[in-house]
Every structure is written in structure tokens, then in C-alpha cells.
Chain A
Amino acid sequence: MEDVQLMDAIERYLRNEMSPEERAHFEQLRQSNPDIDQLVVEHTMFLQQMDQFSEWKNFRSTLQDVHHQLTDEGEIKEGAPKATVVSLLRKYKKVMAVAASIAGITTVLIAGGVSWYTRQASNAELQQLRREFKIEVANKKNEVLDEVNAKMSKAPQNAELISGGTGFLIDGKGFLVTNAHVIKGGSTFVVQSNKGQEFRAQTAYVNYNSDIAILKINDNDWKPHTILPYSFRKGNSELGEPLFTLGFPREEIVYNEGYMSAKTGYNGDTLTCQIGVPANPGNSGGPVFNKNGEVIGIINTRLRQAEGVVFALTAKNIIRTLETIKREDSTFKSLKLPANTQIKGMDRVQQIKKIEDCVFMVKSY
């Protein structure tokens, strides 16, 4: 009988149904008697379990309910028609495999025969043909381009293209960062988006020692971006971290991926880092992203005598430079680096779609 009262007391205690005096009395009892204390602890756990169990049960019955209701209403359909195709596929897997391999062998034999008969003559000729073809196309393309350029291009008349590279937005208002060596020797700069639209730009800051340059787009056609998809990585990057780059080694934007190879650059330079990403002339000034879409660096050089050794200015270095010039130069007062990456967790294709509008080809005349 006593046990019943004790359990009743414990339950009232746990439900806060006791009067203050009774509660104080019970707490004292709990302290003096470890058995009772143990019972309270055990029962608390049990009640929690019961509560969770009850919620779980309710939720499950709601789910079942919803399922039946939606099936009745025809909102969801049980069974998928695809299954038959799949089972057919399974059934005839072997037959299909045999048929496919016969077809494969025949193809290889025919291809082998053809190439054996034509082998002697092919090599030199083929290459020649290809070269001519290429030149022809290039010539034609140039004619058209010249015509269009004369009307459309924002490049200065009769000026020669000195060098080119890549740049990317660091502020939606039109501030781009690139390498100083990309714009070295030029007097007029044009940046071109992946869609081919050109914008006139002016240098806002150049530092050949750190190889950082900032361009400001100064063009009536320019529409500011309200928000940039990527941000700058403030901390250090880890070795082996997967990376990707976007740049303009060609007339078209090119994606590449790789990894963080070393935390320092050439000769132990701590302002740069080494990355294992293929890079070619034109990639200079291009952003290097980690998988979250944070800029971890800017590609600037590669080792001539070694394959696949590319160096990038670290994001930290860039942030520091920007902070310094913001303090010293009032034209940069309004410059604000993007705070958060908007593309974390997206798959790569989506990420690139968001980023590519913010990466530009930089042409220096």
C-alpha cells in the first residue's frame, strides 16, 4: 500500500502538483533516502519515454491518415509504371549483354580494318587538312568579327590588345579584383562577361608588389548586382581541400577543379598558396573557390619548369589589402566584401550558374 502512495507522491512531485510545504518535505525525503531518489530518477526517465512514445504514436497515426486521405483524393498514386520497364530490363539483361558485345566486336573489327587500310597515307595529310581548316575558319570569323567590332565593341579604335586575364566581382556595385600583371602596360580596360557583353572599366588600385589590382566598372550598360553568390574565406584552407576555378584562358569561360596542394607558395611565400588545378595563360586573376563557394584565392602564376604547379594569392592576403586601402583611400569607403556564401550545399552545376555572371574576362589595351 505504501508503494502506491509513494508512486502517487512521485508523480505529483514530477507534475508540480504539490504544495510548497509538501514539496520541501518530499525533497528532503529524496535527499535523505537514496532509494527514493533512485526511484524518482527512474520514473522521470520512464515518463519522458512515455511522453515521447505518445507523440511518436500520434504522429504515426496522422501520417497513416494523411496517406489514406491523399490516396483517396488521388493526390498521390501508389505504384509506379516504370517498374514494368525495369523488370523487363532485368529479364532480358543477359540477351542484351550478348547482343551488345557482338555489336561491339563487329564495330571494333570494322573500325580496325578501315584504319589498317588507310593508315599509311593518313597522318601527315590529316594534320595539314586540319590546320588549313582552322586558319580558314579563323579568317572568316575575323572578317565577321571585325565588322561587328567596328560597330559594337567598346575597345578603343586602332588600339592593340596587350594582354588579357580574368577578374571577378568583389562588390556588386562593380568593383572587380584581378592581378596587377594582367593590366600592366595597358591604358584602357574592357571587361567582358561570359555572355559577351563588354563594359568599360578603370583602374582603382594597382600594386605590382602584391600583384593585386582593382578595377571599377564605369559603364552606363552596367547593372549592379545586389548580392554576390560567393564570399571570401577568412580562415585558413586545409591541404587536400577540393577546389574549383573559373577563368578565361579562351574566349569562353572555363571550369577546372583540383585541390589545395600546399599552404605556401613559391619559395615558402606565405602570401600565396599552391593549388593542384590546371591553369593556362588567361586564368590569371581568376577566383579559386572551395566547395562551399568561398573564394580562397586568386590564381596568379604557375611554375614554368614543372607540370601542374600553380600558385594563387590567398584570400587572407586579399582581404588584408582591401582593408588597408579602405582605410587609406576614401573612394573605397563604400566597398563592402560579401559576407556570406549563398551557394553552400548546392551541387556544382548550380554553383557555377550563380557564379559565372560575376566572373569577367579582363582585356587590356
Chain B
Amino acid sequence: MKTDPREIALLEGLAKNDRQAIETIYKQHYNMVQSLIINNSGSVDDARDIFQEAMIVLYEKARSGSFELNCLLKTYLYSVCRRLWLKRLQQQQKMVPDINGLEDLIPVEEEIDQHGQRSSAYQMMEKAMMNLGEPCRSLIDAFYLQKKSMTDIASFFGYTNADNAKNQKYKCLMRLKKLFFSAYKNNNNL
């Protein structure tokens, strides 16, 4: 089956973090996912979490470049959300009822495993950043995430010159790396 060119365009937009595309997908499919989750003992917040996680799966897939959507976007999102929700129910050790609705229309097991690994790495990074404390967190954020130049950072944070800022950034970086890699190793050992 050929994929609808409009859906291909949406995926391309999504890969570029294009707000218009995200809004369109959101509008078209959120309600379907929400009723799936709520009808299967989830809350509104669960529905939002699951839908957004599925959007991230889709985003990662779209960015990988090798992704071919061989079904409707709706089917894909539905299958991913259903899998994610089952997984979460299992983690909470709740009784897993037969999730109502259609059966898994397409297998998405692999995607979700990959996504799980990636997202736990992101969460570790987020935690490491949180534990870093100020001013390190803002400094790292400005340099590595917002990609500001060292001179801008120096003037913004009130360092006398770029070298001073660099020294401070170096110390922060070392601490962040230590925090992140120790969490990473622990997690892999488990």
C-alpha cells in the first residue's frame, strides 16, 4: 500500500520539529488515543503521556531517515500507544485486562524496545543535569544545548573573560560526565 503523500509530508515536517506538522498529527489522532487509554483504566494524564511518548517514537523514526510508513499513520500510532500502555500497566503490576479495541495491527515491538533504551538514557541525562545544581546547570545548558558562544556566556554570567568561563564550564562538564556515566554504568549492569 502506498503511503498517503500528505502523511509523508507530515512525517517530514515532524522530523524537522515543525510545529504545524505536530499540531496536525495531534489534532487528528489525540482523541482516538485518549479514548483507548481511558477505556482501559487510564487517566487523562496517562493518555497525554502515552500519546506524547508515541509521538517521540514517531519523531525518532522519522528522523532516522530509513523509516517507511507502510500503513496509515493512525494505525501506527494506535499500535504504538497500545503497546506502550500495556507495558506501563505491566510495570505498575496492575491486572492487565485484555485491551479493548482492535488487536495489534502492526508489530511495533522492536521500535518500542529501542525507544525504551534511548528514553532511559535521556532520563539519566536529565537527572544528572538536575543534580548538577546552579550555576553549572545553566552554564552547561547555555553551551551544549543552546550552543551559545563562550564570550556570550562569559558576559551573560558575569565572568571577567571567556577563559574564566571556560574553566568553570570545564569543572561543570567533568561533574556532569561523572554523574551521567555512573548512572549509565549502573543501569547497564542491572
Contact = CB atoms under 8 A, between A and B. Distances in A.
Given A60-B52, A67-B26, A78-B44, A49 B125 contact: yes
B56 to A, nearest CB: 7
Interface stretch (B29-37, B85-93, B151-159): B29-37
A70 B30 contact: yes
Nearest to B145: A54
B27 A75 contact: yes
A50 B1 contact: no
A344 B3 CA distance: 11
Nearest to A47: B144
A113 to B, nearest CB: 37
A94 B61 CA distance: 45
A54 B144 contact: yes
A133 interface: no
B167 interface: yes
Given A4-B167, A4-B170, A49-B121, A76 B1 contact: no
Contact of A345 (B1, B17, B39): B1
A138 interface: no
Interface string B1-28: 1100000000000000101001100110
Interface in A40-69: 46-47, 49-50, 52-60, 62-64, 66-67, 69
A58 B39 contact: no
A80 B38 contact: yes
A77 interface: yes
Chain B, interface size category, equals 35 or more
Contact of B122 (A53, A69, A76, A344): A53
B27 A345 contact: no
B108 interface: no
B170 to A, nearest CB: 5
A213 B96 CA distance: 55
A235 interface: no
A79 interface: yes
Contacts of A67: 26, 30, 48, 52
B175 interface: no
A135 B106 CA distance: 49
Interface string A60-100: 10111011011000011111101100100000000000000
A55 B119 CA distance: 12
B26 A70 contact: yes
A80 B1 contact: no
Interface residues of A, number: 39
Contacts of A66: 19, 22-23, 26
Interface string B61-94: 0000000001100000000000000000000000
A340 to B, nearest CB: 9
A84 to B, nearest CB: 10
Given A63-B52, A70-B23, A7 B17 contact: no
B80 to A, nearest CB: 15
Contacts of A47: 144
Interface in A327-350: 342-347
B55 interface: yes
A69 B30 CA distance: 13
Given A46-B177, A79-B44, A82-B39, A8 B1 contact: no
Contact of A86 (B39, B145, B167): B39
A344 B70 contact: yes
B137 interface: no
Nearest to A90: B41
**Leading 8 A-B pairs by shortest Cβ distance:** A54-B145, A4-B170, A53-B125, A80-B35, A76-B30, A80-B38, A63-B52, A78-B44
25 contacts: A4-B166, A7-B173, A46-B180, A47-B144, A49-B180, A52-B118, A52-B122, A53-B145, A54-B144, A55-B17, A57-B126, A59-B55, A64-B52, A66-B22, A67-B48, A69-B23, A70-B30, A76-B30, A76-B31, A77-B31, A79-B34, A79-B44, A80-B35, A83-B39, A342-B2
